């Protein structure tokens, strides 16, 4: 068990992070006395889906200041209306954990009007790993807690990327063409730490530019990647500068490429920069 540097605020907050990054473990350690509602558990999800009043009944005995953890909240965004009401009426405090921000960003979803802060949990940092941090291993397999102490990191990373396609993309119906998205992923992985030209990426994938743009948005919204905008020193520039694309974890990049050998000196640059 590694101690994470993330500190909880004193009020309700969204806790976002890549699947397997340790959000649930962190929350259980920090909020041991909290009421826990795990929407990843299918029976719990179905019960709350079919009976909207169940959520409020479960919290009927909670008193002002009590913490409530809702895990995988993006599976049932409608619960945020109840969360909003309970913050206002009962002064309860919520940890709203999720591995995807896509459903939470759709129009019509109640984001609590500033009543909840936002925190992001990253893969393990070198300072969190302490003496267990190994740069060569981190560049090869990444630093996801799920992988850190695995006896078979390559196999587990490969299973992780397959799980991402199945549970995050297919189950949530985030893209219409799953096969096309699966072909897009390894091409996008080649752009890790690189200046991103969407037109070039679209040509390499053999799909429309608008499709590639939507696929990149899915990567960002499921917290698998982010884009760093180019610095523009003047307010008006004739040439549009392109952002850089960074994947959240170098191990996931290599698993997407199915490339698990020790990075050569020429291959170390982008994953090191990303890390």
Spatial distance between the Cα atoms of 155 and 151, rounded to a whole number of angstroms: 9
Confirm whether pTM is higher than 0.75. yes
Q: What is the mean pLDDT of residues 47-57?
A: 93
Spatial distance between the Cα atoms of 69 and 79, rounded to a whole number of angstroms: 12
* Number of other residues whose CB lies within 10 A of the CB of residue 88: 12
Predicted pLDDT at 109: 58
Q: Which of 26-40, 99-113, 134-148 has the lowest mean pLDDT?
A: 99-113
Is the distance from CB of 174 to CB of 222 less than 8 angstroms? yes
Report residue 238's pLDDT band, with 50, 70 and 90 as the boundaries: low
Report residue 110's pLDDT band, with 50, 70 and 90 as the boundaries: low
Predicted pLDDT at 107: 46
Spatial distance between the Cα atoms of 197 and 242, rounded to a whole number of angstroms: 6
Q: Residue 43 phi/psi, 5° resolution?
A: -65, -40
Model confidence at 256: pLDDT above 60: yes
| Cβ partners under 8 Å of residue 53, min gap 6 | none
| Cβ partners under 8 Å of residue 14, min gap 6 | 73, 96, 97, 98, 104, 116, 117, 118, 119
Structure tokens given for 55: 């959520």
Predicted pLDDT at 164: 79
Note the pLDDT tens digit of each residue in 65-92.
Answer: 999 999 999 889 889 989 999 999 999 9
Predicted pLDDT at 181: 84
Q: What is the mean pLDDT of residues 170-182?
A: 73
Note the pLDDT tens digit of each residue in 122-164.
Answer: 999 999 999 999 999 999 999 999 898 889 999 999 998 888 7
pLDDT averaged over the chain?
88
Tell me which residue of 91, 96, 89, 95 sits closest to 75, measured CA to CA: 96
Q: Which of 93-97, 119-123, 207-211 has the lowest mean pLDDT?
A: 207-211
Spatial distance between the Cα atoms of 215 and 184, rounded to a whole number of angstroms: 8
Q: What is the mean pLDDT of residues 93-121?
A: 78
Question: Which of 12-16, 146-150, 221-225, 241-245 has maximum average pLDDT?
Answer: 12-16
Report the C-alpha dihedral over residues 106, 112, 117, 118, rounded to 10 degrees: -20
Predicted pLDDT at 111: 66
Predicted pLDDT at 197: 87
């Amino acid at each position: 068990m590694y101690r994470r540097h993330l500190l909880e605020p004193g009020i309700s907050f969204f806790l976002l992070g890549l699947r397997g990054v340790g959000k649930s473990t962190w929350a259980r350690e920090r909020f041991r006395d909290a009421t826990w509602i795990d929407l990843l558990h299918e029976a719990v999800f179905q019960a709350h889906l079919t009976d909207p009043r169940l959520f409020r009944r479960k919290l009927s005995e909670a008193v002002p200041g009590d913490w409530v953890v809702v895990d995988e909240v993006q599976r049932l965004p409608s619960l945020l209306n109840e969360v909003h009401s309970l913050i206002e009426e009962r002064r309860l405090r919520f940890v709203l954990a999720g591995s995807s921000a896509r459903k939470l960003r759709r129009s019509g979803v109640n984001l609590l009007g500033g009543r909840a802060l936002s925190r992001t949990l990253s893969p393990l940092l070198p300072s969190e790993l302490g003496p267990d941090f190994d740069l060569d291993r981190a560049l090869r397999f990444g630093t996801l807690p799920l992988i850190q102490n695995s006896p078979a990191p390559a196999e587990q990373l490969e299973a992780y990327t397959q799980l991402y396609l199945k549970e995050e993309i297919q189950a949530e119906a985030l893209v219409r063409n799953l096969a096309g998205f699966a072909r897009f992923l390894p091409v996008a992985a080649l752009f890790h730490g690189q200046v991103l030209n969407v037109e070039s990426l679209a040509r390499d994938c053999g799909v429309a530019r608008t499709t590639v743009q939507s696929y990149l948005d899915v990567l960002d919204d499921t917290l698998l990647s982010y884009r760093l905008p180019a610095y523009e020193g003047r307010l008006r520039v004739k040439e549009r500068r392109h952002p850089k694309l960074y994947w959240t974890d170098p191990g996931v990049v290599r698993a997407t490429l199915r490339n698990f050998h020790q990075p050569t000196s020429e291959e170390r640059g982008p994953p090191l920069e990303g890390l």
